[in-house]
A and B are shown apart, each in its own frame.
Chain A
Amino acid sequence: MKLNHKSSVLLVVLAVVLLFLPFIADALLGRGWVRILDFALLYIMLALGLNIVVGYAGLLDLGYIAFFAVGAYCYALLGSPQFGLHWPFWIVLPLGALLACVFGVLLGAPTLRLRGDYLAIVTLGFGEIVRIFLNNLNAPINITNGPQGINMIDPIRLGTFSLSSEQSLFGLSFPAVHLHYYLFLACTLLVIFISMRLQDSRIGRAWAAIREDEVAATAMGINTRNIKLLAFAMGATFGGAAGGLFAGLQGFVSPESFGLTESIMVLCMVVLGGMGNIKGVVLGGVLLVLLPEALRHGAGPMQQAWFGKTYIDPESLRMLLFGLALIAVMLLRPAGLWPSRQRQRELTEEHEDYDSTR
């Protein structure tokens, strides 16, 4: 990737915008939107993690949120009054990622022979199993507090510098949501960097090979077992790290937050944005977090403005429009909003087989 002059200017502009985004959002739209940005960054990390499994290696995973849950609960258990442990976040966070990685391998191992939809249902089952265990491990021995969840989780803290209280730096005051934004942004950039490096590495090419044709990949001497396990492990690691950050931001975790719909949501981000393309996945994550929130703000007032009356309950309309948007985007851009070049090429070639005039 060589940068020409134009794209480096664009990069600088982007960096400046990202740097000041929380302040811009706070001033124009309100602090609620900074929190939404925090969640957008978390979901981008999740989507990028899932992208490794689904986009790079082509393994359909419907239980990805389980790794998010593992990371979140690891943080919550080791940094809350639950066991009276208050380990610092720089130990707990990597530990959560590592634990999620182990879970990734545990899930991957029995599913290596499965393909396509069979893999989808097994991963879905795995996600539900993790959630059900978290929901029920309050008896006979109380570990997770069951459905009550774990509360009073320690904020992310470095020494005396706590991210959950307002801090003043350089004459500017940074509220908690702003501070989390910068930490999450740094983590997201790291995840993006790793994703980019992986994509262009030998491993990345091996993933692409098994995605396109597993038999041919095996024939080329690729150890499909290890390569698949690596995809699950890498994806899970990102998910686990994001989970730890989530627990630190929320201060409360309960099993409800890790249901199947969340897994599906993350998958939607990956597919909608453009599988296998980092920029696309980031876009998908941003859109799917912002869209329902924008509709929350927009659905009621828009009816007021257009018809002078609220006909349909804005809340029903919000999810309805969200569903319609999912359909519309996929119809207009089946490969995602911002597909990888390679995938786009494949698609257009396929079309040419049927209709060369297009």
Chain B
Amino acid sequence: MDILLQQIINGLVQGSVYALVALGYTMVYGILGLINFAHGEVVMVGAMVALSITQVLAGYALPPMVVLLISLLVASMVCMALGYGIERIAYRPLRNAPRLAPLITAIGVSIVLQNLAMIIWGRAYHAFPPLLPDSPHIIAGAIINEVQIAIILVAVVMMTGLLLLIHRTRLGRAMRAVAENPAIAALMGVNINAVISITFMLGSALAAVAGIMVAANYGIVHYYMGSILGLKAFTAAVLGGIGNLRGAMLGGVLLGLIESLGAGYIGDLSGGFFGSNYQDVFAFFVLIAVLVLRPSGLLGERVAERA
């Protein structure tokens, strides 16, 4: 029983990691209808910048919480600048281009960021210092540590904050207007370009937070870490219904649970024929099954089709 509980906790933590990244994807998609494929790399840059900051601050004997806050701040700013730049350079000129053009530039941006990061931070895997306390708590035989609790909390807080922002503020209203119909939003006096830039910067700040949480949890960062994380998070966002913030959270947590329960029990369920090597297959089958039954994801309402 404690094994099952442990697997659920594993899934929740992993799922919250996906959700953290998926929120950024889904927010940009919700406003622009564009998959920002470079989002995973922004997450990576966030983690890498934070690593550099912790290295710089290592000599000052500051309390870990202060180091965390400073690195969070700097990483968010760098990522926001990056997000703004990516949108200006790679997406804005293509707003009226064929649908797949921004996809290719996004892939281009990913390749560039990855290789820049490799040049700056080197090829090696780096240890990320333990900034958050990782003392374990035991609940009914299952173990969860404080970083993991923090990840779940941060994911929930971020989702709630974004929902409030979008539904309760002026900026949020402008965002929704742009999402609904950019041309009319512009006629109503919304500065579309500003709104889109802010959306990107916000999404990138989220990416920085996600990057640091991921780095703190696994204690390891690498210039390649963004791509696989981005892919999983994108899957999670689609599962939940891309463009829907609650969907990103739900999709992330579900994907995490599917993976951990799949890896844990698929062997017993299939009489040993399949094992944890089919963990991803299992996850994708669930995704396909969900999408066949609900073609726009669990919570998605808008049919995603643009010319």
Contact = CB atoms under 8 A, between A and B. Distances in A.
Contacts of B304: 115-118
Given A118-B297, A326-B108, A327-B108, A316 B115 contact: yes
28 contacts: A60-B100, A110-B288, A111-B288, A113-B295, A114-B291, A114-B292, A121-B287, A128-B281, A132-B280, A136-B277, A267-B100, A267-B104, A271-B104, A275-B98, A275-B100, A312-B119, A317-B115, A320-B116, A323-B109, A324-B112, A327-B89, A330-B97, A330-B108, A331-B89, A331-B93, A331-B105, A347-B96, A347-B97
Interface residues of A, number: 51
A309 interface: no
B57 interface: no
A136 B278 contact: yes
Nearest to A327: B108
B97 A132 contact: no
A200 interface: no
Interface in B2-54: 29, 35
Contact of B305 (A110, A115, A327): A115
A110 B108 contact: no
Which 7 A-B residue pairings sit nearest by Cβ, starting from the closest? A323-B111, A334-B97, A326-B108, A125-B284, A323-B112, A327-B108, A320-B115
Contact of A354 (B96, B115, B303): B96
B306 A116 contact: yes
Interface in A229-271: 260, 264, 267-268, 271
A19 interface: no
A268 B104 contact: yes
B121 to A, nearest CB: 11
A113 B294 CA distance: 9
B231 interface: yes
A351 B98 CA distance: 12
B242 interface: yes
Given A115-B304, A324-B112, A330 B278 contact: no
A136 B281 CA distance: 11
A88 B96 CA distance: 51
A316 B90 CA distance: 21
Interface residues of B, number: 51
A157 B80 CA distance: 58
Interface centre among B90, B98, B272 (most CB of A within 10 A): B98
B223 to A, nearest CB: 10
Interface in B148-203: none
A227 interface: no
B100 A271 contact: yes
Contacts of B119: 312-313, 316-317, 320
A350 interface: yes
A129 interface: yes
A268 B295 contact: no
A239 B297 CA distance: 29
Contacts of A113: 292, 295
A335 B112 contact: no
A18 B104 CA distance: 30
Given A125-B284, A140-B272, 20 more contacts: A54-B100, A110-B288, A115-B295, A115-B305, A118-B297, A122-B287, A125-B287, A129-B285, A271-B104, A275-B98, A312-B119, A313-B119, A320-B119, A323-B108, A323-B111, A330-B97, A330-B101, A331-B93, A334-B101, A347-B96
A322 interface: yes
A272 interface: yes
A122 B288 contact: yes
B127 interface: no
Given A271-B100, A354-B96, A324 B235 contact: no
Given A122-B291, A140-B273, A132 B278 contact: yes
Contacts of A335: 97-98, 101
Contact of A118 (B103, B104, B112, B295): B295
A193 B257 CA distance: 49
A80 to B, nearest CB: 23
Given A118-B304, A121-B287, A327 B118 contact: no
Contacts of B281: 128-129, 132-133
B292 A110 contact: yes
B84 interface: no
A31 interface: no
B111 A128 contact: no
Contacts of B107: 264, 268, 323, 326
A24 interface: no
A313 B101 CA distance: 30
Contacts of A86: none
Contacts of B94: 330-331, 334
A343 interface: yes
A287 interface: no
B234 interface: yes
Given A115-B303, A117-B304, A350 B96 contact: yes
Nearest to B304: A116
A222 interface: no
Contacts of B90: 327, 331
A209 to B, nearest CB: 14
Contacts of B100: 54, 60, 267, 271, 275
Nearest to B183: A354
A322 B119 CA distance: 15
Contact of B104 (A136, A260, A313, A330): A330
A335 B98 CA distance: 6
A319 interface: yes
Contacts of B104: 267-268, 271-272, 326, 330
Interface string B249-287: 000000000000000000000001100011011001101
B110 interface: yes
A318 B287 CA distance: 36
A300 B107 CA distance: 24
A330 B105 contact: yes
A133 B119 CA distance: 35
Contacts of A327: 89-90, 105, 108-109, 112
